[in-house]
Amino acid sequence: MRGDSPMNTAVNASPAGVAPALGLGRRITWLLLLPSTLWFLLLLLMPLLVILVFSFGERSSVGGYGGGFTLDNYLALGSRAGAFSNTLVLAPLGTLVCLLVAYPLAYFLAVKVRRNRSLLLTLVIVPFWTSFLIRTYAWIFILGGKGIPALLASLGLEGVRLINTPTAVLVGIVYGYLPLMVFPLYVSLEKLDKRLLEASGDLGASRFETFRRVTLPLSAPGMITGVMLVFILLMGEFLIPAILGGGKVFFVGNALVDLFLQSRNWPFGSALAMTLVALMLAIILVYLKLAARFGGASRDGVL
């Protein structure tokens, strides 16, 4: 009788029979990954490689890239120290303010709201329905002489100046990037197991202790995602400083626009861009390492 006996089953499940199947599975996996890998190489690594080559070149007599090999572009980065300092101060500060404003809003939407949640989430998205440029220009009137300063002057506070200052740029950053911080936090908080909060209260923890030891650690993935999303975009921001800074608050992004489109000094602009990329990678790696260390310690201490 030729049925499937236990012996035949054992033979079919032997490593000799499994190995070809595993090899085929790996090949299929690589084939599925091939399009995204080529896309990644073409749209991310290749442009970076071109910029890296440009950064060691010289400016041609008519502008652009003129070939050659020199380190002068990197040695001249000190001339853009103001742009670097503004970026390295206002980008992290803007990210922090976005986090401090977005967390209570996301917590309210995810935990406290029972009705009309979809409507409130839609209101958070509404600013994206209008051009970012138009929304930023609107703040010129709000922060300009006929806006908030005029209102403060009517209350007796004369001489308040907001437009063309770092404060105006910071306000524009928070307004423009706040939704990008809210939604990762909302998703993380919305998935929070409410039974953990109830258990914390039953064990005698105060609301603050429950937030510190349960809610905050479990919402860490949303915070990390939001911070990375906002911070990376802010490091390359140029529109908000150009409009609300009035040419007095320069970011590295503004310097890159000037070097590539105005003065056409592509090698120096490339060196500036590569330095910015290196700084971003270093800051992000340090942040992720610290977040993993403190986040893991906080989760170990939950309840």
Q: What is the largest CA-CA distance in the chain?
A: 103
Residues shown for the chain: 303
HEC secondary structure over 45-61: HHHHHHHHHHHCCCECC
CB 231 within 8 A of CB 91: yes
Q: What is the pLDDT along the chain (303 residues), one digit of tens a residue?
A: 445 554 444 444 445 555 666 677 788 888 888 888 888 888 888 888 999 999 999 998 888 898 889 999 999 999 999 999 999 999 999 999 999 999 999 999 988 888 888 888 888 888 888 888 899 999 999 998 888 988 888 888 888 889 999 999 999 999 999 999 999 999 999 888 888 878 887 788 888 888 888 888 888 889 999 999 999 999 999 999 999 998 889 999 999 999 999 989 999 999 999 999 999 999 888 888 877 775 555 555 554
Please give the Cα distance from 146 to 141 (Å, whole number).
7
Q: Cβ neighbours of residue 184 under 8 Å, at least 6 residues apart?
A: 222, 223, 225, 226, 229
N- to C-terminal Cα distance for the chain? Answer: 62
Amino acid symbol at 164: N
